[in-house]
Amino acid sequence: MNYVLAIETSCDETAASVIKFNSKTAKVLSSAISSQIDLHKAYGGIVPEVASRAHLEAVILIIKKALEDAKTNLKNIDYFAVTTEPGLIGSLLIGIQTAQTLAWALNKPLIKTNHLDGHFYSAFINKNNSFAIHNSQFPILSLLVSGGHTQLLLAKKSDNIKIIGETLDDAAGEAFDKAAQILRLGYPGGPAISANAEKIKSSITTDFKLPIPMVDSKDFNFSYSGLKTALLYKVMKKKMKKRDISLFAASFQKSLVESLVLKVISAAKKYKPNTITLVGGVAANKLLRDELSKAVQSLNPSIPFLVPDLKYCTDNAAMIGIAAVMKLKNKA
């Protein structure tokens, strides 16, 4: 068995994880995370300079925690892995320099990992924290929705992952965050919007109806700036009562989720995948999980639909360690 210590600092979570693996299996032994959400709340979004400083303060402590939780120590680590792109440059540099220093001091290889590959593989970490992906599961159609990205990916093999659609403007998570700002629901917006939306059991009346973005486009791209602007205008025109906030939250969430589901299903009809997955921070959204699951089931009940456990939806280092293991495997 080999051990990899993975570090993730691309955005607003400082995370480290230990993965144990051989040529056939991989298991997440620990996944330690220090979230900066409370630091950024006051600003209504992520402040890059604040994020870098917080990573600097947390990174060593989080690595120690990941090693302790995995009941191991640095001497047992065979590989180091770190997210090198995409992300906030100041934040990435904290993780990269820490990982480079450890790899150099202990004379072990460093695996540079793409954050989005991490999200892609997170769908294959099961409830027991074991990871496995088989040739028969390909082609895989994956909807990756996070604060920074909205992409539809088609993986024909593990070393052949292509983007077949992406957002033309805001990412889905970013749209949730901006809608929450309009509705004064605070940061991060996704959980706040969905908590408010859940209070609404009735259907959405005309006053609150919002358009479904890109409903008629023939490609697999997404766009959320129009939806956001439509929300802003409707809110500005209205004398807002408390319940109106929840009604708008429900309506916004419904339109955004419908547009995502629509694109995944039309891509599935074209590419006929053997597996469909939903990954990234926005995959924590209950309505999206439920609606996409139902849509896949009614399209073809024999296509497995995989969504990671909530702790592997938002940013974490376990997925970075798994992406590093796959990188080693693809090179072998």
Of 92, 140, 85, 150, whose CA–CA distance to 117 is shortest? 85
Phi-psi region of 28 (alpha: psi -120 to 50; beta: other; left: phi over 0): beta
Residue 285 site contact among Zn ion, ligand KG4, none (CB < 5 to 8 Å, cut-off depends on kind): ligand KG4
Q: Provide, rounded to whole angstroms, the least separation between the CB of residue 135 and Zn ion.
A: 27
Return the number of the residue (11 or 58) whose C-beta is nearest ligand KG4.
11
Q: 61 or 195, CB closer to ligand KG4?
A: 195
Nearest-approach distance from CB 63 to ligand KG4, in angstroms: 20
Q: Which does 177 bind (CB under 5 to 8 A by kind): ligand KG4, Zn ion, none?
A: ligand KG4
140 near ligand KG4 (CB under 6 A)? no
Per-residue contact flags (x/-) with Zn ion for residues 137 to 176, judged by CB under 5 A: ---------x------------------------------
Query: Could you tell me the smallest distance in angstroms from the CB atom of residue 315 to Zn ion?
Result: 4
The yes or no reply on residue 281 touching ligand KG4 (CB under 6 A) is yes
Binding mask 188-207 for ligand KG4 (x = CB under 6 A): xxxx--x-------------
Q: Note whether 284 binds ligand KG4 by CB under 6 A.
A: yes
Closest distance to ligand KG4 from the beta carbon of 218 (Å):
27
Stretch of 102-110, 165-173, 211-219, 310-318 contacting Zn ion, by CB under 5 A: 310-318
| DSSP state for residue 125 in the 8-state scheme | B
Residues 296-325 that bind ligand KG4 (CB under 6 A): 314-315
Task: Give the separation between CA 266 and CA 271, rounded to whole angstroms.
Answer: 9
Nearer to Zn ion among residue 170 and residue 315 (C-beta): 315
11 binds ligand KG4 (CB under 6 A): yes
Per CB under 6 A, the segment of 25-33, 71-79, 126-134, 171-179 that binds ligand KG4 is 171-179
12 binds Zn ion (CB under 5 A): no
| Among positions 16, 185, 285, 307, the unique one binding ligand KG4 when judged by CB under 6 A | 285
- In the chain, alpha helices (H): 37-41, 48-69, 89-106, 115-122, 172-182, 189-197, 225-237, 242-271, 286-299, 318-331
The stretches of 16-47 forming alpha helices (DSSP H) are: 37-41
Instruction: Pick one of 249, 251, 315, 326: the residue that binds Zn ion (CB under 5 A).
Output: 315
Q: What is the dihedral of CA 127, 130, 133, 136, to 10 degrees?
A: -60
Dihedral (CA of 244, 291, 143, 324) sign: positive
Q: Strand pairing partners for 151?
A: 144, 166
Helix axes 172-182, 189-197, angle to 10 degrees: 70
Cβ neighbours for 45, distance < 8 A, ≥ 6 positions apart: 177, 181, 187
* Tally of CA atoms within 13 A in the half-sphere of 98 that contains its CB: 28
Q: Where are the alpha helices (DSSP H) in 123-224?
A: 172-182, 189-197
Q: Identify which of 69, 99, 80, 71 has the alpha carbon closest to the alpha carbon of residue 2.
A: 80
Does residue 118 belong to the site contacting ligand KG4 (CB under 6 A)? no
Contact residues for Zn ion, defined by CB under 5 A:
146, 315
Contact residues for ligand KG4, defined by CB under 6 A:
11, 146-148, 173-174, 176-177, 188-191, 194, 280-282, 284-285, 314-315
